[in-house]
Structures are given as structure tokens and as C-alpha cells.
Structure 1
Amino acid sequence: MLRTKLAALIRDVNPPMVRLTVSDLAVGHSAHVSAHGYIPAAPYFSPGAQLHTVGAWLTDDETTVLDHTEPNYDRMMLSTADHPVVAATVVPKTFSLYVSRHGVLGDPRTASPLPLGSQGDVVEWLGARLAHPALGGPTDAVCRRLAEPAVGARITTSFRSADLARDAGLASTRSREGMARR
């Protein structure tokens, strides 16, 4: 996916990618409906968690291109002092992470973020909490309905009104530096 996004705008893209483990991060679901009708993934702070993922060493140009493909996320810098990284290569002292501008889905009773699951799982979870007909039926049909801009926007708004959106617990560098959102 990363290479596809970059290749659309930059020739000969092949950023080095490395398997790594990051401490105190987990992945859940962003508290928004994507333009394609699914509930996308988003990271959140999770003390003691170990996130096994892939990191990409991007150039400044590649990073700029990727920023433009992520309108619902803010790129922020994290320190390996706060989030230790284990990899088979040298790791820089800081790294970038895309954090959802909408927060992450979570249970209003426990304030715990909903861990990443399948689209079927998150649709079922939402259907049990939101009385909205767009969330009923097979997952592929739900995603097609949610891809309709008005429906997706209504469901996204309902996440907040039903108290299902949680802060990701990761202070945005963009916010700290007073940078305007795109």
C-alpha cells in the first residue's frame, strides 16, 4: 500500500522497509469512516504493549507525498526514549507516526480503545452501540453504504455523540508546534 501511494507521484520508489517492534503502542480503529466506507486503523498509546510492524525509511520527498495521502491523520514525531524500538538495523532517535485526527474507537464504560479487528468485527461492535440502519447486514453491504459521503459523515458524527471516540493518548507534534491542519 505504501509503495502504491508513493509510486503514484514519485518514480522509482522503493523505500527501505524493516520489521520492527515498538513499545507502548497498539493499533485500533480510527473514529471515522473512510471515503471508501471502511473504519480504518489508527495507533494509540498503550502502556506495556509491543507493536510488531514494518517501518519505512522515507526521504523528505516521499514523506511529503505520503502526508498528502493521509488527510485524516497528523504525522507526529515520537522519541525512541519514550517508545523504544527494536529492529535488525540502526534505529534513529525519533520516528514519525500517523495519528488519527478523529481519535480511536473505544468503549464509553471503560474508556479503553477498541483493539484492531476485522471490518466485520468493528461493524458488529458499532451496530450494537449505534441504532443506525446503515450498520445492518453483511459487512460488504455496510461498507458500500458507508462509502456514500452523507452516510459516512453521519456515522462519523455519531461516534462522538455516542461517546465512542477516545483520544489516542499521543500528543501531536503538529499541535504542539501550532501547525495548521490541511
Structure 2
Amino acid sequence: MDDRSLETLGLADAPRDHPLLYPGAWPADSGLLDGDSLLPLDRLVHDDRAPVLAVGSNACPGQLRRKMDAFGIVSPLPMVKARVTGIEVGVSAHVSRLGYVSASPFHAPGHLRELFVIWLDDEQLAVIDASEGVPRPDGNYGRAWLPASDVRIELADGTTLPGAFSYVNRHGVLHDGTEAPRTHPGQRPLITELLLGSARLRQLFGVTPEEFCARARADAGLCERGTLLFAAEKLVTTSGLEAYLPAGPA
């Protein structure tokens, strides 16, 4: 029998432990995350679970495993590759306490890319909510329902979902210099470019991606100052998805 362990598949490392790897390795295809293995999936739609569109490390099996392990959750978790139209992966306008600048979706009409839908039972959804700061009033993300009228999610068997949840950053996203949202290029190139572009950011976080990650992980207050600096230096724009954010707890 083929070895389907996360280690063998190159999917075991979690950005929580290795922030410069963010968003982490994604699977080549759909699968069932079961313990430390990614097994073949027998069906794509799981009507008894909540569909969540993953745009960052929630599509990394190693990261998902770490999140579930922290709460003793061992139930299998379906991960389904999908063709998604209307969404692109942007850069969250906050510095994470885990040492990286994470991803957040932004509205991109007509844009097509492959993302993962993770199907979560109630316990799993509560864990992912907590990891994204939902429903804390000071949380960085809100869980928003993105309807099919704006975001088309098509599975490999031709099924089109009526919509899915996704985590939208309440601070907005970083722009590309033209007020349009910038795409997330991966952690090392992103932090390198951000540090080169801001002397004040270098004063806070150092001059290399390694320094940035180490300082952010060591000081939650510094992360808050970095988040405020993004706004102060006018690096932030809207994602176009704010209307879908719940006013209160998701």
C-alpha cells in the first residue's frame, strides 16, 4: 500500500512552527486528512459539514493537523480542490502573532484559480474559528458566507456549490501601490519587499525576513504596532468582501 503519510507527501510542516514557509505546502489533489495521513477521498460534497474556502495555511495539511491536535480533535477532515471564480488571495493588513503576514481573500470578478474547500464538522469549525480570532470583537478575521452569485466554486465532478465560508480580514488587505489589492507571493518575498519599502517597519522588525519572524513571534504588542503601521503608511485597501462580514459573532 502506498505511503500516504504527510511526511512522505511533503505536507507535514506547519507554518505555525516555520513561519517563513507560510502558507505551507498544499496537496496536489483532494484528500481526506486523517491523523498524519492524507487518504483518498470517496466523495467531494459533504452536506453534513460546513464548506470553508481556504486561501492560506488552512489549505496546508500540516497546519490543519497542528490546529486540531491542540484541541484533541482526531476526526477526519475532507479537503477538496476546487476551481474558484471571483476570488484572489491577498495579503492581510495585520502582522500575525505567529510571525508571518497571512493571507486574506479579495473580490476579483472573473478571476479563476484553484483553491481548496475544507469541509468541517462542528468541532473542527470551532477550532478553525478560534484560530482566526472568531468571534472575538478584537479578532483579525470574520467568517463570511460568500454566495455563488459573487463567487463560483466548481468541484472536479462538475458540482457548483451554493457558496462557502471564508475568513475575511477585518483590517482590509495590503494594496500594490495603485490601490488595488496585492496578491500574496509567499512569506519570504513578501516580507523582503515590505521591509525594503518601509524604514519604520525595519525599525520595528529588523532588516531580514528571519528577524521579522523572530521579533513578531516574541512580542504580541509589536505585532499590533506593525498592524497600525500598515494603516499609518497608507498601505491598506478594502478587500471588496466587507459587506459579507457579520456585524457580530460569526
Distance, in Å, in 2 between the alignment partners of 1:65 and 1:2 is 10
Distance, in Å, in 1 between the alignment partners of 2:73 and 2:170 is 30
Amino acid aligned to 1:32: H
Q: 1:88 corresponds to which residue?
A: 156
Amino acid aligned to 1:37: G
Amino acid aligned to 1:162: E
Matches within 5 A, 1:105-124: 105-107=174-176, 109-124=177-192
Distance, in Å, in 1 between the alignment partners of 2:187 and 2:163 is 32
Distance, in Å, in 1 between the alignment partners of 2:128 and 2:83 is 22
Q: Relative contact order: is structure 1 or structure 2 higher (C-alpha 8 Å, sep ≥ 6)?
A: 1
**Corresponding position: 1:137 with 2:207:** yes
Amino acid aligned to 1:154: R
The answer on whether the counterparts of 1:28 and 1:116 sit within 8 Å (CA) in structure 2 is yes
Q: 2:129 corresponds to which residue?
A: 67
Per-residue deviation, 1:10? 4.7
The answer on whether the counterparts of 1:3 and 1:14 sit within 8 Å (CA) in structure 2 is no
**Corresponding position: 1:162 with 2:230:** no
**Corresponding position: 1:79 with 2:141:** no
Gaps of 5+ in 1: none
Per-residue deviation, 1:172? 4.5
What percentage of aligned pairs have identical amino acids?
A: 31
TM-score, normalisation: structure 1? 0.87
Structure 1 residues 179 and 150 mapped into 2: Cα distance closer, same or farther (>3 Å)? Answer: closer
- Aligned-residue RMSD, C-alpha: 2.0
TM-score, normalisation: structure 2? 0.65
Q: 1:152 corresponds to which residue?
A: 223
Amino acid aligned to 2:151: H
Q: 1:100 corresponds to which residue?
A: 169
Q: How many residues align?
A: 178
SS at match of 2:178: coil
Amino acid aligned to 2:189: D
SS at match of 1:142: helix
Per-residue deviation, 1:63? 1.3
Decide which moves more: 62-71 or 84-93.
84-93
CA displacement 1:92-123 (0-9 Å, x = unmatched): 3121001111111113x410112111322222
Matches within 5 A, 1:16-31: 16-31=78-93
Q: 1:11 corresponds to which residue?
A: 73
Gaps of 5+ in 2: 1-62, 134-139
1:49 to 105, 111, 127: 111
Structure 1 residues 152 and 171 mapped into 2: Cα distance closer, same or farther (>3 Å)? Answer: closer
